[in-house]
Amino acid sequence: MTLDSDRAPGPEPRRLFSRRLAWAVALVLGVALAPAHAREGVEVGGNSAFSRLVPAEQVERSATQQYAQMLSQANGQDALAPADNAQLKRLRAIAQRIIPFTAPWNARARQWRWEVNLIGSSQINAFCMPGGKIAFYSGILQKLQLTDDEVAMVMGHEIAHALREHARERMGKSAVTHGAARIGGALAALYFGIDARLTDSLASGGANLLTLEFSRQDESEADLVGMELAARAGFDPRAGVSLWRKMGAANRSGTPQWLSTHPAGTTRIADIEANLPKVLPLYERARARTGAAPRP
């Protein structure tokens, strides 16, 4: 006599067993079998693991100190725009529309003490330091005659650098490159934290956050994330194309400081145009929400 347990399982039990095994594996890995719902907007992947080598709090504290020093110097040179300056009011109004959309990209942005200031200078320059410290130089507004939409593209781009923690990432890479002997097993601890004493000097003034250069990949990410932020705030993302055309024209007459660390060119514009279909619906919805018709 052959017992049931001795028989080879039929097709149906095998299928049931396979399904149960698949679910068990999925549970162990923490991965749902159902396809994840794709987010609306651009896709740039997760933040670099290198950023975890440097505590965010220390980077933001250093940025606050350096930003305050910059404002003090500008004020001492009568170059800091007063609160009633029309262009400063314009910048702050644009920022107020963009900032509410930052938290999904970086939860820390909810606690940032955002600041926007205008420096009187002929330089074509703008930046956002970690912690939401934004500055525009008057030269970028005057020389390029930026529209509000174009200002939003610049501001979104610079805010994106802070949200994506590109400065923190550069510090982490520097720690690995120049301090490997001291850091020792830090790479193994990327996902478990690291002794803050190893990176104190980097985060507390060891890096000049005003002049830190980013990689081409960082710049591409900032273009796309910034474009999405501006679109969600109701600014026309197509202004990214006109902005970089203006930048290209400015570059032909002498490289502005801003462009020295912000590579431009046809490839950059092509990347923006390729991603416009992902953000134009966000812009149109934002315009409809405010009762304004989308611009042609």
Helix axes 266-289, 216-232, angle to 10 degrees: 20
Residue 159 has pLDDT above 60, yes or no: yes
Give the range among 2-6, 93-97, 140-144 with minimum mean pLDDT.
2-6
Residue 73 pLDDT > 80, yes or no? yes
Q: How confident is the model at residue 91 (pLDDT cuts 50, 70, 90)?
A: very high
Q: How far is CA 263 from CA 216, 220, 257, 290, in A?
A: 7, 9, 11, 34
User: What is the rounded distance in angstroms from the CA atom of residue 81 to the CA atom of residue 66?
Assistant: 18
d(CA 205, CA 63): 8
Residue with tokens 């985060």: 203
pLDDT of residue 13: 53
- Quote the pLDDT of residue 46: 81
Q: Give the per-residue pLDDT at 199.
A: 44
Please, which residues bridge with residue 127 across strands? 135
- What pLDDT score was predicted for residue 213? 74
CA distances from 295 to 33, 239, 282, 286 (A): 42, 11, 13, 12
Residues 129-154 pLDDT 10s? 999 999 999 999 999 999 999 999 99
DSSP state for residue 5 in the 8-state scheme: G
Token pair 């690995």 is at which residue? 176
| Beta strands at 126-129 and 133-137: parallel, antiparallel or unpaired | antiparallel
Read off the pLDDT of residues 162-200 as tens digits, 9 standing for 90 and up: 999 988 777 776 766 655 444 444 443 443 344 444 444
pTM of the model: 0.76
